């Protein structure tokens, strides 16, 4: 069979993670036996042809994973908007023998792709007619396959939970917001921060939720009253009175009032200055949101989407309609290209027509949930207690190793519960604290500032209660009239909740509903594909490895980087995917002597043929005997003068740090659902013990009675781990031919 030729290009606004997608497309394509071209400068390159259409090899996409923007360039092309331009583009593709294109861009670029494909037969016919191509060529290229990937920092595309670049933009926003919050709090100042998003309030909304901002203005949900400026100012004043030291308003670029009039940052500034009687500062974040290195999530999203795109395009049949690749509940999906573009544009139209309800309904459920949660979180004080409703005493506890996002979850749970009139108790120092009666009533302002804080303010430890601890715990539960418990933590929390359930006959006080919320950097908890903290840890790993790689300079060096994870290889595998490690050692697979011998050969072969940098990522418990230092010694000895080897044990930097936006958003979402479930259970006199998590496409509560069935008790990890299915992609992209890696 003739070798298939495919091409990739990036178009429209650049977005971080596009390079990961380009790398994945090129390498997967080569691996599958295709010839792969990159078209430089988007559609303009397609029209220009010549030097702009370049054949790629394995190494042409080396070392680009960590770069922001797009290394193959992007442009807005007026010529491609014309038929003449598109005819020329068709001619260039046919002359290169390219029969499939992968487009990474926003809805504009994907619309262009769709028009191109619809016109393809007529463009080809015109080319034959004018003698530009032969009838045989026309016959051979009678069809053009197209696959789209959405690269857009706005996260504004219908049908996908995330677009490439949105997570990184949120990283930039939360970093800026955290910095602004600390200066604003020091001076008790008011800030207005403007973020990108013309038709989509995603960045503003999630940025506000993640940073604990006090007010948000987004296009999909304009203020519902005309005197919104008064309402906003009153709220901010009330917040100050309640003890808040700063006031922060986030404004999306496309925010408007309910008459469709755009709201500018100066307008908000003036409105607040007049009403608050103080100076108000404005920060327009602008292009920093597009800048910087891509987050771990965007690198892996780009990689997985790029891989998927090649699988589709190489198996495409002529009659297949073009598709866009999306991600829905953590799984790759294929969306019909034009239908998705039209639905995306429908949101903009709904906003233009001031049909905000429809605009909101076209967004995902997590978007509207987040908006609801935010409205609770930004309150200056909770709603007044409704005397007609039953209220409960709900206690929140952190357990296990600290995980970034624990505070965010505790804050959200406490405020959500308080807002509904419940008494929220904070238990200090995990189960030890519970047994010792370190319990206090939490107020609305007691959790102020927790949204962005790493570590655990309540205090946490890894002591799993047993035997006599239960007496103390039962006594304190009774003494404090605790109606329900929320445990935020890792295995310590889950094992304790299970033990309490099992010991109910001996300790009647344990007959109350309990929910565990997964918070562990290791991402090793049952019933949940993501635990809070894992995304932050992954980003810490990626940051560290980026620096380690840069340190290699001109020497030929191999690093063996050891990451955490206990008996779960999640951080190692996903960290390896995001950094381009050529080998990942997982506890799930173990390490054999034969593996190590093969790896020595792999390294030797690589360094002999020009490789300068080797990167191996080893999960801390991949093998008890073949430790990181053992492996380093082995590689060093066998590498002789060819290369040297350095260990890098990342250690606790993985547990620290401020939580990533994703961890903060998840923490908010899960915590509110947990409190809701506990209240529901209390209202029905239920006693259910459960653990929450996003799994198989939805957030669900799992019954603790199923706990033993779904865990691998010996290794403290879930029996089924979704991410193991991605192993082949990591190794495919990093190892190939003579000079592997990065």
- Catalytic (active-site) positions: 154
Collapsed DSSP state (helix, strand, coil) of residue 613: strand
CA-closest candidate to residue 148, choices 341, 346, 344, 337: 337
Query: Is 346 a binder of ligand ADP (CB under 6 A)?
Result: no
The span of 104-112, 551-559, 562-570, 657-665 binding ligand ADP (CB under 6 A) equals: 104-112
CB of residue 7 vs ligand ADP: minimum separation in angstroms? 15
Among 77, 344, 460, 523, binds ligand ADP (CB under 6 A): 77
Helices (H), 328-405: 337-352, 356-361, 365-377
Among 67, 71, 115, 710, binds ligand ADP (CB under 6 A): 115
CB of residue 121 vs ligand ADP: minimum separation in angstroms? 17
CB of residue 78 vs ligand ADP: minimum separation in angstroms? 7
Query: Which residue(s) pair with 691 in the sheet?
Result: 516, 702
Q: What are phi and psi of 262, to 5 degrees?
A: -60, 145
Torsion, Cα 589 594 595 598, to 10 degrees, reads -160
Query: Is 148 a binder of ligand ADP (CB under 6 A)?
Result: no
Query: Is 342 a binder of ligand ADP (CB under 6 A)?
Result: no
The span of 76-84, 225-233, 352-360, 500-508 binding ligand ADP (CB under 6 A) equals: 76-84
Q: What are phi and psi of 509, to 5 degrees?
A: -60, -20
Q: Which is nearer to ligand ADP, 81 or 713 (CB)?
A: 81
Query: Is 107 a binder of ligand ADP (CB under 6 A)?
Result: yes
Among 105, 254, 576, 606, binds ligand ADP (CB under 6 A): 105
Tokens of 593: 């002597």
Query: Is 13 a binder of ligand ADP (CB under 6 A)?
Result: yes
CA-closest candidate to residue 330, choices 686, 735, 734, 723: 723
CB of residue 150 vs ligand ADP: minimum separation in angstroms? 9
Among 63, 97, 108, 223, binds ligand ADP (CB under 6 A): 108
CB of residue 126 vs ligand ADP: minimum separation in angstroms? 17
CA distance 298 to 304: 10
**Closest residue to ligand ADP: CB criterion:** 108
Tokens of 326: 């999306």
Q: Which is nearer to ligand ADP, 338 or 493 (CB)?
A: 338
Q: How many residues bind ligand ADP (CB under 6 A)?
A: 16
The phi-psi region of residue 13 (left if phi > 0; otherwise alpha if psi is between -120 and 50; otherwise beta) is beta
Q: Which is nearer to ligand ADP, 105 or 306 (CB)?
A: 105
Query: Is 109 a binder of ligand ADP (CB under 6 A)?
Result: yes
Among 54, 76, 235, 621, binds ligand ADP (CB under 6 A): 76
Q: How many residues does the chain have?
A: 742
The span of 7-15, 256-264, 362-370, 673-681 binding ligand ADP (CB under 6 A) equals: 7-15
Query: Is 580 a binder of ligand ADP (CB under 6 A)?
Result: no
Query: Is 163 a binder of ligand ADP (CB under 6 A)?
Result: no
Q: Mind spelling out the 3-state secondary structure of 393-411?
A: EEEEEEECCCCCCHHHHHH
Integer CA distances (angstroms), 515 to 123, 400, 689, 690, 695, in order:
61, 15, 6, 5, 16
Q: Which is nearer to ligand ADP, 164 or 403 (CB)?
A: 164
Q: Which is nearer to ligand ADP, 104 or 563 (CB)?
A: 104
Q: Which is nearer to ligand ADP, 102 or 631 (CB)?
A: 102
Integer CA distances (angstroms), 132 to 7, 220, 443, in order:
21, 49, 76
Residues 6+ apart with CB under 8 A from 518: 490, 525, 527, 528, 530, 531, 532, 670, 691, 692, 693
CA-closest candidate to residue 655, choices 399, 449, 405, 397: 405
CB of residue 107 vs ligand ADP: minimum separation in angstroms? 5
Q: Mind spelling out the 3-state secondary structure of 89-131?
A: HHHHHHHHCCCEEEEEECHHHHHHHHHHHHHHHHHHHHHHHCC
Query: Is 81 a binder of ligand ADP (CB under 6 A)?
Result: yes
* Residues of this chain, 35-54, that bind ligand ADP according to CB under 6 A: 43
List of residues contacting ligand ADP (CB under 6 A): 11-13, 43, 76-77, 80-81, 105-109, 111-112, 115
């Amino acid at each position: 069979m003739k070798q298939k030729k495919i091409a990739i290009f990036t178009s429209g606004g650049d977005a971080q993670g596009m390079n990961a997608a380009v790398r994945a497309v090129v390498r997967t394509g080569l691996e599958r036996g295709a010839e792969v071209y990159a078209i430089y400068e988007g559609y303009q390159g397609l029209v220009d042809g010549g030097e702009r259409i370049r054949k790629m090899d394995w190494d042409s996409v080396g070392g680009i994973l960590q770069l922001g923007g797009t290394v193959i360039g992007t442009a807005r092309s007026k010529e491609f908007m014309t038929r003449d331009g598109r005819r020329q583009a068709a001619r260039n593709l046919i002359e290169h023998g390219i029969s499939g294109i992968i487009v990474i861009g926003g809805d504009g670029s994907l619309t262009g792709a769709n028009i191109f494909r619809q016109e393809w037969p007529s463009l080809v016919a015109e080319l034959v007619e004018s003698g530009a191509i032969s009838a045989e060529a026309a016959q051979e290229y009678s069809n053009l396959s197209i696959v789209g990937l959405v690269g857009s920092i706005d996260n504004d595309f219908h049908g996908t939970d995330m677009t490439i670049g949105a997570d990184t933009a949120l990283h930039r926003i939360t970093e800026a917001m955290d910095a602004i919050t600390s200066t604003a709090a020091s001076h008790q100042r008011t800030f207005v921060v403007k973020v990108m998003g013309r038709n989509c309030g995603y960045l503003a909304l999630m940025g506000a939720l993640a940073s604990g901002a006090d007010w948000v203005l987004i296009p999909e949900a304009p203020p519902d009253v005309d005197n919104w400026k008064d309402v906003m100012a009153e709220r901010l004043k009330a917040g100050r009175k309640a003890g808040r030291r700063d006031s922060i308003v986030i404004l999306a670029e496309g925010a408007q009032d309910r008459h469709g009039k755009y709201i500018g940052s100066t307008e908000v500034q003036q409105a607040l200055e007049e009403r608050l009687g103080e100076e108000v500062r404005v920060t327009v974040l602008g292009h920093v949101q597009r800048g910087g290195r891509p987050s771990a999530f965007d690198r892996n999203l780009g990689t997985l989407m790029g891989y998927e795109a090649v699988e589709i395009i190489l198996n495409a049949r002529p009659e297949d309609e073009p598709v866009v690749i999306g991600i829905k509940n953590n799984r790759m999906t294929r969306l019909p290209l034009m239908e998705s573009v039209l639905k995306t544009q429908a949101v903009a139209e709904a906003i233009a027509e001031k049909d905000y309800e429809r605009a909101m309904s076209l967004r995902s459920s997590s978007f509207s949930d987040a908006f609801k949660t935010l409205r609770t979180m930004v309150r200056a004080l909770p709603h007044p207690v409704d005397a007609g409703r039953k209220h409960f005493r709900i206690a929140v506890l952190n357990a296990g190793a600290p995980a970034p996002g624990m505070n965010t979850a505790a804050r959200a749970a406490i405020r959500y519960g308080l807002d509904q009139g419940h008494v929220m108790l904070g238990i200090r120092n995990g189960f030890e604290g519970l047994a010792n009666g370190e319990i206090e009533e939490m107020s609305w302002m007691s959790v102020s500032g927790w949204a962005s804080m790493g570590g655990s303010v309540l205090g946490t430890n890894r002591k799993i209660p047993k035997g006599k601890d239960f007496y103390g715990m039962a006594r304190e539960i009774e003494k404090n009239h605790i109606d329900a418990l929320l445990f935020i933590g890792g295995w310590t929390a889950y094992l304790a909740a299970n033990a309490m359930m099992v010991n109910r006959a001996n300790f009647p006080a344990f007959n109350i509903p309990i929910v565990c919320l997964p918070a562990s950097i290791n991402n090793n908890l049952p019933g949940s594909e993501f635990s809070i903290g894992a995304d932050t840890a992954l980003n810490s790993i990626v940051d560290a490895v980026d620096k380690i790689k840069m340190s290699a300079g001109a020497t030929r060096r191999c690093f063996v980087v050891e990451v955490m994870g206990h008996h779960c290889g999640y951080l190692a595998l996903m960290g390896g995917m995001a950094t381009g490690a050529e080998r990942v050692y997982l506890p799930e697979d173990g390490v054999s002597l034969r593996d190590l011998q093969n790896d020595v050969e792999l390294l030797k072969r690589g360094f002999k043929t020009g490789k300068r940098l080797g990167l191996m990522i080893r999960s801390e418990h991949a093998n008890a005997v073949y430790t990181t230092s053992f492996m380093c010694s082995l590689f060093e000895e066998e590498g002789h003068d060819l290369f040297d080897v350095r260990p890098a044990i990342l250690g606790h930097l993985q547990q620290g740090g401020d939580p990533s936006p994703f961890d903060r958003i998840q923490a908010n979402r899960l915590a509110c659902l947990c409190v809701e479930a506990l209240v529901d259970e209390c209202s029905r006199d239920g006693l259910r013990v459960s653990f929450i998590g996003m799994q198989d496409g939805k957030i669900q509560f799992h019954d603790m009675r199923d706990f033993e069935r779904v865990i691998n008790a010996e290794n403290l990890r879930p029996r089924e781990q979704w991410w193991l299915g991605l192993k082949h992609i990591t190794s495919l992209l990093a190892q190939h031919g003579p000079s592997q890696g990065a």
